[in-house]
Amino acid sequence: MPHNNRKGTPLPRIFMISSGEEQGEGRGELIEHLTLLPSHIPCIVQIREKHLHTKDLLTLAQRARGIRLPEGSLLLCNERADVALAAGLDGVHLPENAVPPDKLRAYAPDLIFGCSIHSPEALRSAEQAGADYLLFGPVFDTPSKRKYGPPQGLKKLGELCRASSLPIYALGGVTPQNAALCMDEGAYGTAGLSIFRDTSRMRETLEQLYSILNR
Amino acid sequence: MIPSSPFLCVITDEAYSPVTLAEQALKVGAAMIQLRHKTASGSQLFAWAVAIGKLCSEYHALFIINDRVDIALASKADGVHLGQDDLPAAAARKLLGNSRIIGVSASSVEEAVQAEKDGADYIGFGHIYPTVSKLKEHAPLGPDNLQKTVESLSLPVVAIGGITIENAPILISRGAAGVAVISAVSRAEVPSKAASELLSALQKSLP
């Protein structure tokens, strides 16, 4: 069953994270990628550019907001509720060490807040603090996360999904080939960064994921 | 609102526990604390902000947070201090409303005038003298530029950068409403003593 967001529309099943390589003044690949999203595939798009100065992050967020996204899509930024509000985004994705969502919700009641979690303890705190969705990973092996040790695996994903009624997105090495395994464990959807970067294959990847995740 | 002149603003840094530093500065009479820490996590900043905010209200001092309007709102700080690369003051004002304070860093008269137009409540002007706290892109501005900026604005101007007990009275006599320090207090052997000496120097500047 789809989870509804605060606007009453279902949360998208596909969660796309920006490369982390955007440049200042809104230069980079994100804007191009947003224009390439197929109009029938709603996505959560998280602008995650931690290296940018706040001013440049705001400029990027405002430019992204100006793109017409597939209906039902949600545009989030990483951590900064001030930037989300200033740019008119839909919400904020919070890393595990960020300010808890209930403290932010107090002054941003209309934003969607999601939380990264890496453990059952983090899942409980995020639930108690009123998160709208959770992001868990890395489920599979992914080059960018190898420095943090082995992947967390499908079994742990399943345990967390069964322990929570919140929608959980599986992140880390998820592809159209293994996405169904995440769904079998109870994931609500899947998230990725690198699989969306090849613009020549982005549409095909999204179509494949969309049909698997909405089965 | 802005403390009465001449006041001392102590800015935290990575060299010293922000809460301990704030308490040391407050107990000797600093009227403004700015939480500034570029590498701490959001949850850590928030925890510090709540603790320092409580101390500041006990000491009737002003508490502002560098850059993070989100954390200022969540922790109900008195305001924010924004650099030229942070949220524009006008955007911050929409989020913070009129009852909270927005300070803006400026390193030229032009930037200061723009910040005033954008709705800043005070200007942090510097660096006035050479300083070790931050990597600087321009030469020290000196007391003449400070005075020029003070005369071009109706906002209070806080002098920052290389402030010492020797030069602080000069800057007040040139029109600064207060001085802000980072390393002069945070890296002093006894931060409360350093803050106290700066406060005495500011009092001496009064006619």
Predicted confidence (pLDDT) per residue in A109-134, tens digit: 999 999 999 999 999 999 999 999 99
Q: Which of residues 69-98 of B touch A (CB under 8 A)?
A: 69-71, 73-75, 84-88, 91-92, 94-95
What is the pLDDT, as a whole number, of residue B133? 65
Q: How far is CA A153 from CA A171, A185, B64, in A?
A: 10, 11, 43
Residue A139 burial (CB count, 10 A) = 26
| Contacts B46 to A, Cβ<8 Å | 99, 103
Please give the distance of CA B151 from its chain centroid, rounded to a whole number: 20
Q: Considering only the top CATH level, what class is B7-204?
A: alpha beta
Read off the pLDDT band of A154 (50, 70, 90): very high
Quote the mean pLDDT of chain A.
Answer: 94
Contact B6, B172 (CB under 8 A): yes
pLDDT of A137: 94
Task: Determine the pLDDT at residue A4.
Answer: 74
Distance CA A213, CA A183 (A): 7
> Encoding tokens for residue A24?
């200042």
**B115 contacts in chain A (CB < 8 Å):** none
Q: What angle do CA A164, A167, A170 make, to 5 degrees?
A: 100
Tell me the backbone φ, ψ of residue B107, rounded to 5 degrees.
Answer: -125, 20
Question: Domain segments of chain A: what residues?
Answer: 14-213
Give the CATH fold of the A14-213 domain: TIM Barrel (3.20.20)
Structural contact between residues A98 and B42, judged by C-beta atoms closer than 8 angstroms:
yes
Nearest Cα to B102, choosing from B83, B75, B127, B85? B83
User: Given this model, what pLDDT does residue B53 score?
Assistant: 98
Residues of B catalogued as catalytic? 36, 105, 134
> Which of B6, B28, B7, B14 shows the shortest CA–CA distance to B190?
B28
Structure confidence at residue A144 (pLDDT): 76
CB–CB contact A107 B73 (8 Å): yes
Residue A100 to residue B73, Cβ atoms within 8 A = no
Could you list the beta-strand ranges (E) of chain A. Answer: 14-17, 43-47, 74-78, 91-94, 112-117, 133-136, 168-171, 189-192
Strand partners, B179: B8, B159
Q: Between chains, do A55 and B87 touch, taking CB under 8 Å as contact?
A: yes
Listed in sequence order, the residues at least 6 apart from A201 whose beta carbon sits closer than 8 Å to its beta carbon are none
pLDDT, tens digit only, all 207 positions of chain B: 799 999 999 999 988 999 999 999 999 999 999 999 999 999 999 999 999 999 999 999 999 999 999 999 999 999 999 999 999 999 999 999 999 999 999 999 999 999 999 999 999 999 999 987 665 678 999 999 999 999 999 999 999 999 999 999 999 999 999 999 999 999 999 999 999 999 999 988 766
Query: Mean pLDDT lowest for which of A20-34, A147-161, B61-75, B192-206?
Result: A20-34
Q: What residues 6-65 of chain B have any CB closer than 8 A to a CB of chain A?
A: 41-46
Q: Is the pTM of this model over 0.90?
A: yes
Contact criterion met (CB below 8 Å) for A192 and A178: no
CB neighbourhood size of A151 (10 A):
18
Which tokens in the block code for residue B26?
A: 């407050």
Interface predicted TM-score (ipTM): 0.95
Of the two residues A91 and A198, the one the predictor is more confident about is: A91
CA distances for B149 relative to B62, B114, B128, angstroms: 23, 12, 12
As a whole-number percent, the residues of chain A with pLDDT over 70 amount to 97
Per-residue pLDDT reduced to its tens digit, A58-114: 999 999 999 999 999 999 999 999 999 999 999 999 999 999 999 999 999 999 999
Instruction: Answer yes or no: is pLDDT of A17 > 80.
Output: yes
Query: How is residue B131 annotated by DSSP?
Result: -
Asked whether residue A6 carries a pLDDT value surpassing 90, the answer given is no
Q: Which two tokens stand for residue B18?
A: 């922000």
Q: How far is the CA of B26 from the CAs of B8, B35, B102, B205, in angstroms?
A: 10, 13, 21, 21
User: Contact at 8 Å (CB) between A202 and A41?
Assistant: no
Write down the pLDDT at residue A9. Answer: 77
A113 phi, psi to nearest 5 deg: -120, 125
Is the confidence at residue A179, as pLDDT, over 90? yes
Residue A159: burial class (beta carbons within 10 Å; 0-12, 13-18, 19+): middle
Q: Is the pLDDT of residue A23 over 90?
A: no
Q: Which residues pair with A81 in a beta bridge?
A: none
Residue A81 and residue A115: Cα distance in Å, rounded?
Answer: 13
Contact B174, B147 (CB under 8 A): yes
Cβ contacts of B42 on chain A, cutoff 8 Å? 79, 94-95, 97-99
